[in-house]
Structure 1
Amino acid sequence: MAAQALMQKASPAALGKLKCITVDVTGTLIAYKGLLGDYYCMAAKAVGLPCPDYDRMHQGFKIAYKDMATKHPCFGQASRMPNIDWWRVCVRNSFIEAGYNYDDETFGKVFKRIYSMFGSAAPYIIYPDAQPFLRWARKQGIIVGVVSNAEYRYRDVILPCLGLNQGSEWDFGVFSGIVGVEKPDPRIFEIALKKAGGIAPEQALHIGDSLRKDYVPARGLGMHALLLDRFQTNEAMRASEAGVPVFPDLTYAQKYIMSLQEKTEALVV
């Protein structure tokens, strides 16, 4: 397992000398309330249409999103496609894949509701341990960065509306829809290290919920990494068995970091 090989390079003592922590967003700091397909169905109902099939709608979204992410990565940033146009095509294709092809006027009404909703805090919930962890890290003098495969509205609207503000919870953000690079491409972590002031990889720690998108590329670059497993997934269980540090939430991650910092201080003394 690639993660197991990467773990062999880890040095718990060095982890106590952290200068920067980068954190994933969805699944780590915040989560969706329900499934995305549910919101598409609600938008259709809100304009007087029969409620689409929820399961078909959710599957339709997954197909359309994957297709758009392949053709126009980073929410269109890579191909200079405006964010709203990227989502317009994605949403339309989601309905078509689910078997619903509305006329332009009707779809325009549905899309307006969906785009506005996902540009607000309404569909999201913040994990209760997120804000305390980020504030704790910054109080330790650690630079905190957000690294996410997300578009600009996460930075400008969604995170602030959820109480995760630049300057109090995080110091800088690297969002794929802005920088044009997305995880698991290690270049997104290189950008983060530069934003943190040119910090060396071994002085930084990344926390995320995906072995492939978060843990492996961060470790491959030489950063330390932890994996969060809020839902007891099989992937995380296998990763833990391979030696990857896996924790159920950020509270446990904080305790782990503190214990390693204490060990480092004891070695120095």
Structure 2
Amino acid sequence: MSFLSKLRCITIDVTGTLIAYKGELGDYYCMAAKSVGLPCPDYKRMHEGFKTAYSDMAKKYPCFGFAAKMPNIVWWKTCVRDSFVRAGYDYDEETFEKVFRRIYSTFGSAAPYTVFPDSQPFLRWAREQGLTVGIVSNAEYRYQDVILPALGLNQGSEWDFGVFSGLEGVEKPNPRIYEIALERAGNIAPEQALHIGDSMRKDYLPARSVGMHALLLDRFKTPDAKSWSQSGARVLPGLVETQAWLTAENSSNGTSFSSQDGQVSSL
């Protein structure tokens, strides 16, 4: 018996699992600055400035300002301004507004992202098997409304429901986000659901903590994959291998992904 026959739902992470960023953050910030006649910011300083600014905003106003009822564009404007300031670029208000609008519109489009070639086929295949497919992501509303559809990942053809932190007010690794997903899937039992992601801390552990099955994708051959495997997680290189594993007869004997079968696989 295949493991697939035990499932009613698959939930899946977005960034690093279904899609990836193209290029570097500095590419887009540089283009935005150049569009208003400014010199290109230093990539390294810009990257470090953004990491710190984003981390601070996420702590002060988690879930993109959900609890504070902060408009999405205000959250990002504050974050982007702080990113530039920390990188040593303190533009006047009019100049910054032009730069920010370019950045905000770019990251609200398909432009900075690429879809892994196995993503759409896997999602469609899962739904064809009668599974409910859910997106679980620490992302704001534009992923649901604009970005995923622009990338050809549409609700109704590739996925059935979404749980996005900016719309729910809860984010990974809080296990509650997985409980919400189970509710959206029809209040199914957690042992009938599998979550697929690329983070041990945000995907695998919290999904397992509510009783779901889970596996990790190692899209970029990260050194962490070995420790993931050693800790008991099943690690696969992509969704083609995931589909093959799910449909294999006697895969894991229908049990959860235990330390006995956790391994980096190249089926």
Task: Note whether the superposition's TM-score is higher than 0.5.
Answer: yes
Match of 2:166 among 177, 180, 202: 177
Aligned to 2:111: 122
Larger helix proportion of the pair: 1
- Please report how far the alpha carbon of residue 262 of structure 1 lies from its aligned counterpart in structure 2 after TM superposition: 7.2
Percent of pairs with identical residues: 70
1:250 is aligned to 239
- 1-structure distance, mates of 2:252, 2:75: 49
Q: Which residue of 2 aligns with 1:223?
A: 212
Tell me, in whole angstroms, the C-alpha distance in 1 between the residues paired with 2:37 and 2:75: 25
Per-residue CA deviation, residues 176-224 of structure 1 (Å, 9 max, x unaligned), is: 0000100000000011000000011000000000000000000011000
Name the amino acid aligned to 1:241.
Q
Match 1:111 to one of 100, 109, 112: 100
- Could you report, residue by residue, the CA deviation over 1:115-162 in whole angstroms, capped at 9, with x for unpaired residues? 011111011000000000000000000000000000000000000010
Structure 2 residues not aligned, in runs of 5+: 255-267
Which residue is 1:27 aligned to? 16
Residues 90 and 129 of structure 1: CA distance in aligned 2, closer, same or farther (over 3 Å) = same
For residues 141 and 261 of structure 1, do their structure 2 counterparts lie closer, same or farther at Cα, with a shift above 3 Å needed? farther
1:235 Cα offset (Å)? 1.5
Q: Does 1:39 align with 2:28?
A: yes
Moved more, 229-238 or 57-66: 229-238
Q: Distance in 1 between matches of 2:38 and 2:251?
A: 60
Query: Does the alignment pair 1:102 with 2:91?
Result: yes
* 1:65 and 2:60 matched: no
1:78 counterpart SS class: coil
1:1-269 pair list within 5 angstroms = 16-259=5-248
Structure 1: give runs of 5+ residues left out of the alignment: 1-11
CA distance in 2: counterparts of 1:226 and 1:167, whole angstroms: 24
Deviations 1:16-40 (Å, cap 9, x if unpaired)?
Answer: 4100000000000001101223211
Distance 1:159 1:260, change over 3 A: farther
Letter in 1 for 2:236: F
Distance (Å, rounded) in 1 between the aligned partners of 2:233 and 2:112:
31
TM, length-normalised to structure 1:
0.91
AA matched with 2:39: P
1-structure distance, mates of 2:3, 2:120: 25
Alpha-carbon shift at residue 263 of structure 1 (Å): 8.0
Q: C-alpha deviations, 1:59-105, integer Å up to 9, x for none? A: 11101000000000001112111100000000000000101000000
Q: Matches of 2:105 and 2:206 in 1, distance apart?
A: 33
Other structure's SS at 1:225 match: strand
TM-score (norm 2): 0.92
Give the Cα–Cα distance (whole angstroms) in 1 for the partners of residues 94 and 197 of structure 2. 40
- Whole-angstrom distance in 2 between the partners of 1:203 and 1:121: 33
Give the whole-Å Cα distance in 2 for the aligned partners of 1:263 and 1:209: 20
Instruction: Tell me the CA shift for residue 237 of structure 1.
Output: 1.4
Checking the alignment, whether the CA contact within 8 Å between 2:3 and 2:246 is kept in structure 1 is: no
Say which structure, 1 or 2, has more relative contact order (CA 8 Å, 6+ apart).
1
Separation of aligned partners in 1, 2:225 and 2:251? 27
For residue 242 of structure 1, report the CA deviation from its aligned partner: 2.6
Q: Give the aligned residue type for 1:122.
A: A
Give the distance between the partners of 2:11 and 2:67, measured in 1 at CA.
Answer: 23
| 8 Å Cα contact 2:13-2:135 kept in structure 1 | yes
